[in-house]
Protein backbone atom coordinates (compact mmCIF):
# COMPACT_ATOMS: atom_id res chain seq x y z
CA UNK A 1 0.00 0.00 0.00
CA UNK A 2 1.32 3.40 -1.01
CA UNK A 3 2.11 5.79 1.82
CA UNK A 4 2.57 9.55 1.51
CA UNK A 5 4.50 11.06 4.40
CA UNK A 6 4.45 14.60 5.73
CA UNK A 7 5.99 16.16 8.84
CA UNK A 8 3.45 15.85 11.66
CA UNK A 9 4.02 19.37 12.92
CA UNK A 10 6.12 22.48 12.33
CA UNK A 11 6.36 25.77 14.17
CA UNK A 12 7.22 29.12 12.57
CA UNK A 13 7.43 32.69 13.79
CA UNK A 14 5.29 35.41 12.25
CA UNK A 15 7.08 36.81 9.21
CA UNK A 16 9.27 33.75 8.96
CA UNK A 17 9.59 31.03 6.35
CA UNK A 18 8.73 27.34 6.65
CA UNK A 19 8.93 24.47 4.17
CA UNK A 20 6.65 21.45 4.33
CA UNK A 21 7.54 18.30 2.44
CA UNK A 22 5.64 15.38 0.95
CA UNK A 23 7.38 12.06 0.35
CA UNK A 24 6.24 8.92 -1.43
CA UNK A 25 6.94 5.36 -0.30
CA UNK A 26 7.43 4.44 -3.98
CA UNK A 27 10.46 6.69 -4.40
CA UNK A 28 11.23 10.20 -5.57
CA UNK A 29 8.30 12.50 -6.21
CA UNK A 30 8.37 13.99 -9.71
CA UNK A 31 6.11 16.32 -11.64
CA UNK A 32 4.26 13.25 -12.89
CA UNK A 33 2.76 12.87 -9.43
CA UNK A 34 1.01 16.22 -9.95
CA UNK A 35 1.43 17.31 -6.32
CA UNK A 36 -1.46 19.26 -4.87
CA UNK A 37 -1.45 21.15 -1.58
CA UNK A 38 -4.43 22.03 0.61
CA UNK A 39 -4.96 24.11 3.71
CA UNK A 40 -7.55 23.14 6.30
CA UNK A 41 -8.60 25.12 9.35
CA UNK A 42 -10.65 23.61 12.18
CA UNK A 43 -14.27 23.03 11.26
CA UNK A 44 -13.73 23.98 7.63
CA UNK A 45 -13.46 22.13 4.36
CA UNK A 46 -10.00 21.94 2.81
CA UNK A 47 -9.00 24.83 0.57
CA UNK A 48 -6.88 24.21 -2.51
CA UNK A 49 -3.58 26.09 -2.64
CA UNK A 50 -1.29 24.52 -5.26
CA UNK A 51 -1.75 22.04 -8.13
CA UNK A 52 0.65 20.29 -10.49
CA UNK A 53 3.66 20.97 -8.26
CA UNK A 54 3.85 24.74 -8.41
CA UNK A 55 0.71 26.28 -9.88
CA UNK A 56 -1.19 28.52 -7.50
CA UNK A 57 -4.95 28.56 -7.51
CA UNK A 58 -6.32 31.97 -8.46
CA UNK A 59 -7.04 32.75 -4.80
CA UNK A 60 -3.74 31.55 -3.36
CA UNK A 61 -1.52 34.30 -1.93
CA UNK A 62 1.92 34.67 -3.50
CA UNK A 63 3.58 33.80 -0.18
CA UNK A 64 2.63 30.15 -0.84
CA UNK A 65 4.87 28.39 -3.34
CA UNK A 66 5.21 24.79 -4.45
CA UNK A 67 8.27 22.96 -5.75
CA UNK A 68 10.17 19.70 -5.89
CA UNK A 69 12.95 19.44 -3.35
CA UNK A 70 15.30 16.54 -2.78
CA UNK A 71 12.95 13.93 -4.22
CA UNK A 72 9.91 15.30 -2.42
CA UNK A 73 7.15 17.76 -3.15
CA UNK A 74 7.47 20.90 -1.08
CA UNK A 75 5.27 23.78 0.02
CA UNK A 76 7.04 26.91 1.20
CA UNK A 77 5.31 29.61 3.18
CA UNK A 78 7.20 32.89 3.15
CA UNK A 79 6.37 35.89 5.29
CA UNK A 80 4.07 33.74 7.41
CA UNK A 81 0.92 35.38 8.74
CA UNK A 82 -1.00 34.37 11.88
CA UNK A 83 -3.88 33.23 9.67
CA UNK A 84 -1.60 30.65 8.05
CA UNK A 85 -1.86 28.51 11.18
CA UNK A 86 -3.63 25.41 9.90
CA UNK A 87 -3.29 21.80 8.83
CA UNK A 88 -1.71 21.30 5.41
CA UNK A 89 -2.21 18.23 3.23
CA UNK A 90 -0.45 17.10 0.09
CA UNK A 91 -2.01 14.87 -2.55
CA UNK A 92 -0.12 12.74 -5.06
CA UNK A 93 -1.23 11.00 -8.26
CA UNK A 94 -0.39 7.35 -8.81
CA UNK A 95 -1.42 6.64 -12.38
CA UNK A 96 -5.14 6.51 -11.79
CA UNK A 97 -5.61 6.86 -8.08
CA UNK A 98 -4.63 9.60 -5.67
CA UNK A 99 -3.24 9.43 -2.14
CA UNK A 100 -3.25 12.10 0.55
CA UNK A 101 -0.45 12.63 3.01
CA UNK A 102 -1.09 12.50 6.72
CA UNK A 103 -1.01 16.27 7.09
CA UNK A 104 1.29 18.81 8.73
CA UNK A 105 0.06 20.99 11.55
CA UNK A 106 1.67 24.42 11.18
CA UNK A 107 1.73 26.55 14.31
CA UNK A 108 2.53 30.26 14.08
CA UNK A 109 4.15 31.29 17.33
Partner 1 sequence: QITLKESGPTLVKPTQTLTLTCTFSGFSLSTSGVGVAWIRQPPGKALEWLALIYWDDDKRYSPSLKSRLTITKDTSKNQVVLTMTNMDPVDTATYYCAHLLAAGLDYWGQGTLVTVSS
Which residue among 21, 24, 38, 75 contacts partner 1 (CB under 8 A)?
Answer: 38
**Rounded Cα distance, 22 and 74, in Å:** 6
Angle at CA 31, nearest 5°, toward 29 and 33? 60
Nearest to 100 by CA among 1, 25, 5, 20: 5
Nearer to partner 1, 47 or 78 (CB): 47
66 binds partner 1 (CB under 8 A): no
Q: Give the HSE-up count for residue 14: Cα atoms under 13 Å, Cβ half-sphere.
A: 4
Q: How big is the site for partner 1, counted in residues (CB under 8 A)?
A: 24
Stretch of 9-17, 49-57, 65-73, 75-83 contacting partner 1, by CB under 8 A? 49-57
Nearest to 39 by CA among 81, 98, 93, 70: 81
98 binds partner 1 (CB under 8 A): yes
Q: Give the HSE-up count for residue 101: Cα atoms under 13 Å, Cβ half-sphere.
A: 32
47 binds partner 1 (CB under 8 A): yes
48 binds partner 1 (CB under 8 A): yes
| Residues of the shown chain interacting with partner 1 in the complex, contacts defined by CB under 8 A | 1, 34, 36, 38, 40, 45-48, 51-52, 55, 57, 89, 91, 93, 96-103
Amino acid sequence: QTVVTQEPSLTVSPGGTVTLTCASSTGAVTSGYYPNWFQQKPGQAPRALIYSTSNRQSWTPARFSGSLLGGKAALTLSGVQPEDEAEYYCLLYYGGSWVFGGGTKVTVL
